[in-house]
């Protein structure tokens, strides 16, 4: 019976390691994507060749592309009090 208990503990530890690794990969992917979009937005806002309206339109285009890539139609609204 001791052998079965050891296998269960080892299996549980392996599953926990796998879940941790998957979570780390997902977090890295999210961080990379957010950094990419923030870099695009910052570049649009800092582009001195564009007018203020041009910068706003460039940011709007980045958001539109994000929505197309993710299939989102609209964002959840955040309340700011």
Q: Under DSSP, is residue 16 helix (H, G, I), strand (E, B) or coil?
A: helix
What ranges do the domains of the chain cover?
2-70
Which pTM does this prediction carry?
A: 0.68
d(CA 47, CA 52): 10
d(CA 46, CA 40): 10
Q: Is the pLDDT of residue 76 over 90?
A: no
**Mean pLDDT taken over the chain:** 88
- pLDDT recorded at residue 6: 64
Q: Is the pLDDT of residue 5 over 60?
A: no
Spatial contact of 40 and 62, defined as CB atoms under 8 Å apart? yes
């Amino acid at each position: 019976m001791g052998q079965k208990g050891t296998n269960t503990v080892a299996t549980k530890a392996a599953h926990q390691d796998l879940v941790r690794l998957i979570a780390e990969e997902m977090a890295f992917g999210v961080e990379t994507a957010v950094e990419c979009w923030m870099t695009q937005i910052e570049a649009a806002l800092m582009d001195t060749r564009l007018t203020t309206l041009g910068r706003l339109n460039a940011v709007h285009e980045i958001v539109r592309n994000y929505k197309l890539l993710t299939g989102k139609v609209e964002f959840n609204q955040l309340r700011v009090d």
